[in-house]
Amino acid sequence: MYTCSLERMTNKINTFSKFGDAGHGGITRYSLSEEAIMARKEFIKRMEAIGAVIEIDDVANIYATLPGTDENAKRIVMASHCDSVKNGGNYDGILGVMSAMEVLETVHEHNIPHKHPLTAMIWTNEEGSLYPPAMMCSGIVCYDYLPEDIRVKFRYEDMMNSKSILDEEKTFGEALKASGFMGDKKYRLSPEKYLYMFETHIEQGPILEDAGKDIGVVDCVLGMFNYRLKFYGQTTHAGTFPMPKRKDAFFAAAKALNYLHEEIDKLGYSDLVYTTGELVCHPCVHTCVPDFFDFSFDARHEDPKVLEKVLEIVKSCEEKDWAGCSCKVEKAWNRDTVYWDKKLVAYVEEAAKELGVSYQYIHSGAGHDAQFVSYMLPTTMIFVQSKDGLSHCEPEYSSPEHCTEGASVMLNAVLKADA
């Protein structure tokens, strides 16, 4: 068994945290921004220093490869992303890149024999924070293998024309050309050239910490659905119209949301999660009774039958009167549970056992590039404990020790896959 370097990992964490330092302990590093380009250049510099060959595809995904003993063998890739959400943390995404780098550096340092070429990779625009949607470039690369209902969202032409949320005149395609990282389509990840993919990531939740486990052996990404509930009422003056005659869409939505929580909680599934995270209110004026209110409803669970029960409750909102307002329920999108390759999951568990690292099986509630790749290649993930379960915020933290353990587990799982 081999272990990665705590000293090197700590150095990488400290170095990459400077690229987009927001001044409050975290980063803002939008994809293809100046800060992201700094991180990319650091990745290339360190990978070239150990003799890795650098390739960049047409949507700026970067591949750094150490050759194996069999020049005809397919590559094993370890990948994640270096972009962040606004005022995000120093670990989400970039830990997977640093772990992949650490695997290659450890293989180089100890001259570890391996048959297959080993590739560390950066995916472009996983977060979609500046140029929606999320997981944009894995969606483009894996397009031909995705289910139809997902595929239609990732047409190359549409992605190139995705507008910046900060500058509506600038598109992703324009930023790509200006970045200097627009390479050649021939370098894209493909089943013709690649055998397996591994991704190490912070957990982004409290389950491992609460259980006293360092590493999560991930078995799937949870299925989910996202619907919009739209409420229609009547705008009147806030000070002159009698309360009994009002059709307040905001009040109607509040009653419906309370109903959803009560009815869904009655189902009794402790591992079911759901939330309302986005809303629209019209006219959104303090002297007006709202005539329209729209909120999102996101639910996630492994079992599609559980999600069906939740969806029945959500759709039942259309059949009810909400303080004189009507409700329309519209599907935004959904996904089925994505299961990781059982053989690769077993390699991860074996590696954790043999290293003496505490671990448990765990689901991923969040989406990752790996879930799109899994439609194309055998794929799996490794989770590292997150302090207090925090992520997508500046207090996000995983200790250098846990990060190094995650990289060591991935290294040994990859060597098992190579053998």
Annotated binding site for Zn(2+): 81, 92, 127, 201, 392
Helix and strand totals (H; E) in the chain: 13, 14
Could you tell me the maximum CA-CA distance found in the chain, to the nearest angstrom? 82
Query: E-strand spans in 41-84?
Result: 53-56, 62-66, 75-81
Give CA angle at 332 (330, 336), nearest 5°: 120
Helix (H, G, I), strand (E, B) or coil at 176: helix
Binding-site annotation, residues: 81, 92, 127, 201, 392
Q: What is the dihedral of CA 125, 138, 396, 349, to 10 degrees?
A: -160
Cis peptide, bond prior to residue 133, ω within 30 of zero: yes
User: What is the distance between the alpha carbons of residues 188 and 203, in angstroms, rounded to a whole number?
Assistant: 27
Taking alpha carbons only, the member of 83, 122, 82 closest to residue 104 is 122
Question: Do 301 and 223 form a contact (C-beta atoms < 8 A)?
Answer: yes
Tokens of 268: 């009794």
Instruction: Write the DSSP symbol of residue 333.
Output: E
Using CB atoms within 10 Å of the CB of residue 269, give its burial: 0 to 12 exposed, 13 to 18 middle, 19+ buried: middle
The residues near 33 (Cβ < 8 Å, ≥ 6 apart) are 20, 83, 130
Cβ density class 180-212: b for 16+ within 10 Å, e for less: ebbbeeebbbbeebbbbbbbbbbbbbebbbeee
Q: What are φ and ψ of residue 211, in 5° steps? A: -90, -5
Taking alpha carbons only, the member of 195, 414, 224, 417 closest to residue 338 is 224
Q: What is the dihedral of CA 270, 276, 152, 200, to 10 degrees?
A: -50
* Beta strands 75-81; 338-339: pairing state: unpaired
